[in-house]
Structure 1
Amino acid sequence: MRNIFKIIHLDDNPVFFKVLERNLRRIKDIDILYRATTRKDKLEQMITDSLPDLPDLFISDLMLKDDHDATQGINFVKKINSQYPSLKIMVLSARSDQTIKEDLKPHITKYQTKSYLPRQFTKDIIALLKGENA
């Protein structure tokens, strides 16, 4: 029996969202459980569902269109991590701010800027799902 990896994806940029989803679909044995474009919708959905079947990876944009700065995204990731400490979290961001990376480091598995190459992104996702360092 094959292992199907379950992913949650949160991003508000429709173009980036589609590109990332296309890359995810190219990876064998992936099931995208939830897709969302706002943190509020996703967080409420996750809490309501209580994640009976914990996903293998949560991919989240750091800053969404209604955010004034990265604080909301940082707090959201920390909350998800405290509620689901075994959940692997990959944060995507257009920002490469070292302070943000350091603040998130104990709470996430991977921080990736959105300037990544699709091929490298795919390799990183596969490595994370297999429990390897990406």
Structure 2
Amino acid sequence: MLYVDTMLRAPAIKTSRLKADQNDGVVYNYMFAWDTPLDGGSAISYHCSKLPFILNNISMSKASAVGGKLAEILADCMSAAWINFAKNGNPNHSGIPYWPAFTREYGYIMIFGNKCMVKKNHDYELMKLLVPDYVF
């Protein structure tokens, strides 16, 4: 499973493509897009803010705990995905939309937020604009 920070998006796409090309393991790509309502939402999805959700212990993080019921649901969804991936190499479960494996042709990504969704080639055009000389 590859972690995707917004600032690391272009290298994450490249790494995902290279790993998928190896055909020796399945790649599942994701983006954490939940913004804490703490301080009016100014903290956005900061680095490592996903950890309380993956570990399903949002009550231990002030920034996560203020998210209420939606944050609890997201924590349940994310932690179940990580557990499933650790157990059998596939993060899918009934609490999230079907999450296809990432391939170079179909760059599927799960976006974890108040509403979880799967996108195909989610922001490739934006990445080409932001880093035009980057070789994917």
The TM-score bracket by the shorter chain reads under 0.3
The structure whose residues are more often strand, as a share, is 1
- Whichever of the two has the greater Rg, that structure is 2
- Structure showing greater relative contact order (alpha-carbon pairs closer than 8 Å, 6 or more residues apart): 2
Q: Give me the TM-score of the superposition, normalised by structure 1.
A: 0.25
